Chains A and B, each alone.
Chain A
């Protein structure tokens, strides 16, 4: 065994002390009929061989493409100080801070995470984190039902499709109902949640709504009219769950400012690598009034016997280890190491740095929009966006596949993730962030223009030259 310390002498001495002749005797309690068949697994692989093989396996992934894919997971630059701090064994080889006297590092870091996210979201209470944006959104919707004692939520179809599917799975189990709100397809609000439909659904007194789930920016990158959503929902006694992207909160009005009761979202953009889907960071926040409804771990400030400030897990009687079948959620762990990463990232960038990340993404997106429009693929929706938007490309999935062959990851064909939305059948969802380079944009636009037979000479006009 590669990481075990025992020599043959050690084992023999321990067996002698216990009073058995062999380790097999310690497994006598497994009934003979139930003992395992031999393991059919590879032989142990020495670290050197394994390292070479893993390197080759990793290199089979193509990560050197010009890159315009977002759709809920975003490529950002994480200053090296973030990962170097995470590599300290005191952080990543500790567990849940059950013993606060020897866990003040983790406890204070979670308190700081709660504080930083409270500031970003404008809400008073932030959980120590959930699995990911989808699970946090589902938990947020369940919270809304618990708090209102109603059994139905309305979920905008402009919320990430994975979040909607996850929420459905959670709601199905809980015996609650999740109905979807359509996306407007025409006019100036095309691509955003249909507020007239929201108003109609909320007016159905037979089926009172506990929560309304809307994303800002929404899955298509567009800005929703959140104050209107809040006004309509609150008038009907429903809570609002705002699904947020944390970097955008440096420049966009936060949920607390427009009156949302609950915010949920994916914390991956805060310095956490893409790593094919996780581990990520589920953000869940709520108003002070809902503190007893929020599931998951919370850390609070207190004092020790000698009056020194210290931190401790608190309000624990809400959780599964004490409340068992009556707990609000079965969640046991949090994503502590990812919450730590997010905190270090935020502290490394500071308020101006985070704003610059958001604004630089918006600037690059403006360039991208112009370049793609010139290449013959204009934006589909007219409304305001931050750094992600949908473009019209005939036969989008096939074009997308051919562009990959040319070294361009041209965002996401929306038909692959929203097959039930005919208005988006010919659409690519593309995004830019602060790491998107003008050269990448040029490569994308040139390849796309060639695909579409538009030549794309106009694209080189310096419409946004100031940016460079």
Chain B
């Protein structure tokens, strides 16, 4: 399973794309595959403040449920409303239209703590 080189990752199998002070967050293809068919995603409203490592949402598949953890501190700038009607995008385009939230990053230093693609690749190789 390809791991895009231009993204950052968390140990909880989330990816982060940084553009300016905005970080877009989703779950990796590996995570989506482990969950199976995603049927529901519960996301926060814009404006909510997030704390690094605290849960911000929930993703449900047919037979599993998993928390989503904030990769960094910040404020929710947008949530992917399309997932309300098309949760399957998480499976089909995990790094594209299956994104979950955009966060206005409070502390850019925290981004440095995230894994790069090769570190994440070895993480899932061990799993």
Q: Do chains A and B touch in the complex (CB under 8 A)?
A: yes
Residues of A that sit less than 8 Å from B by CB: 292, 315-318, 322-323, 326
Tell me the bound Cα distance from A292 to B84 in angstroms. 12
Q: Is the CB of A322 within 8 A of B40?
A: no
Q: Which residues from chain B contact A317 at a C-beta distance below 8 Å?
A: 39-40, 60-65
Give the residue name and chain of the B residue nearest to A324 (CB): B65
Tell me the smallest distance from the CB of B3 to a CB of chain A, in Å.
Answer: 27
The 10 closest A-B pairs by CB, nearest first: A317-B60, A317-B65, A323-B65, A322-B65, A322-B64, A322-B63, A317-B64, A317-B61, A316-B63, A317-B40
Tell me the bound Cα distance from A316 to B61 in angstroms. 9
Q: Which residues from chain A contact B62 at a C-beta distance below 8 Å?
A: 316-317
Give the residue name and chain of the A residue nearest to B59 (CB): A317
Q: Which residues from chain A contact B61 at a C-beta distance below 8 Å?
A: 317
Q: List 19 A-B contacts (CB under 8 A).
A: A292-B40, A315-B39, A315-B40, A316-B62, A316-B63, A317-B39, A317-B40, A317-B60, A317-B61, A317-B62, A317-B63, A317-B64, A317-B65, A318-B60, A322-B63, A322-B64, A322-B65, A323-B65, A326-B65
Interface residues of B, dominant DSSP: strand
Task: Kindly identify, within residues 18 to 39 of chain B, every residue whose CB is under 8 Å from any CB belonging to chain A.
Answer: 39
Most buried by A among B39, B61, B63, B65: B65
Tell me the smallest distance from the CB of B6 to a CB of chain A, in Å.
Answer: 32
Tell me the smallest distance from the CB of A146 to a CB of chain B, in Å.
Answer: 13
Tell me the bound Cα distance from A430 to B62 in angstroms. 49
Tell me the bound Cα distance from A316 to B63 in angstroms. 7
Tell me the bound Cα distance from A315 to B14 in angstroms. 24
In this complex, the interface size class of chain B, counting residues with CB under 8 Å from chain A, is under 10
Interface bits B41-64 vs A (CB < 8 Å: 1, else 0):
000000000000000000011111
Tell me the bound Cα distance from A464 to B62 in angstroms. 59
Tell me the smallest distance from the CB of A293 to a CB of chain B, in Å.
Answer: 12
Q: Which residues from chain A contact B39 at a C-beta distance below 8 Å?
A: 315, 317
Tell me the bound Cα distance from A402 to B39 in angstroms. 62
Tell me the smallest distance from the CB of A353 to a CB of chain B, in Å.
Answer: 39
Extra contacts besides A317-B60, A317-B63, A317-B65 (8): CB < 8 Å:
A292-B40, A315-B39, A317-B40, A317-B61, A317-B62, A318-B60, A322-B63, A323-B65
Tell me the bound Cα distance from A316 to B65 in angstroms. 10
Tell me the bound Cα distance from A323 to B42 in angstroms. 14
Tell me the bound Cα distance from A322 to B64 in angstroms. 6
Tell me the bound Cα distance from A322 to B60 in angstroms. 10
Q: Which residues from chain A contact B65 at a C-beta distance below 8 Å?
A: 317, 322-323, 326
Tell me the smallest distance from the CB of A102 to a CB of chain B, in Å.
Answer: 19
Tell me the smallest distance from the CB of A322 to a CB of chain B, in Å.
Answer: 6
Tell me the bound Cα distance from A318 to B61 in angstroms. 10
Give the residue name and chain of the B residue nearest to A319 (CB): B65
Tell me the smallest distance from the CB of A178 to a CB of chain B, in Å.
Answer: 27
Q: Which residues from chain B contact A292 at a C-beta distance below 8 Å?
A: 40
Tell me the smallest distance from the CB of B44 to a CB of chain A, in Å.
Answer: 13
Q: Which residues from chain B contact A316 at a C-beta distance below 8 Å?
A: 62-63
Interface bits B63-87 vs A (CB < 8 Å: 1, else 0):
1110000000000000000000000
Q: Which residues from chain A contact B40 at a C-beta distance below 8 Å?
A: 292, 315, 317
Give the residue name and chain of the B residue nearest to A323 (CB): B65
Most buried by B among A315, A316, A323: A316
Tell me the bound Cα distance from A326 to B62 in angstroms. 17
Tell me the smallest distance from the CB of B60 to a CB of chain A, in Å.
Answer: 4
Tell me the smallest distance from the CB of B104 to a CB of chain A, in Å.
Answer: 24
Q: Which residues from chain B contact A326 at a C-beta distance below 8 Å?
A: 65
Tell me the bound Cα distance from A316 to B39 in angstroms. 10
